Amino acid sequence: MKWKVKELQNASARPDLSKPELSKFRESWRKAIALNDNAGKRIYTVRNLEVVKISYKPDQEPFTWTVRGNRKGATQN
Q: Is 49 left (phi over 0), alpha (psi -120 to 50) or beta?
A: left
Q: How many domains does the chain have?
A: 1
Whether 2 maps to a domain, the answer reads: no
**CA 65, chain centre distance (Å):** 10
Instruction: Reply yes or no on whether the pLDDT at 25 is more than 90.
Output: yes
Whether 21 maps to a domain, the answer reads: yes
Q: Give per-residue pLDDT as tens, 35-66.
A: 999 999 999 999 999 999 999 999 999 989 99
Q: What is the distance between the alpha carbons of residues 67 and 26, in angstroms, rounded to a whole number? A: 18
Instruction: Reply yes or no on whether the pLDDT at 11 is more than 60.
Output: yes
Give the model's confidence band at 13: pLDDT under 50 very low, under 70 low, under 90 confident, else very high. Answer: confident
Whether 27 maps to a domain, the answer reads: yes
Q: What is the distance between the alpha carbons of residues 22 and 2, in angstroms, rounded to a whole number? A: 25
Give mean pLDDT, residues 22-36. Answer: 96
Instruction: Output DSSP code: residue 29.
Output: H
Whether 39 maps to a domain, the answer reads: yes
Q: What is the distance between the alpha carbons of residues 40 and 30, in angstroms, rounded to a whole number? A: 15
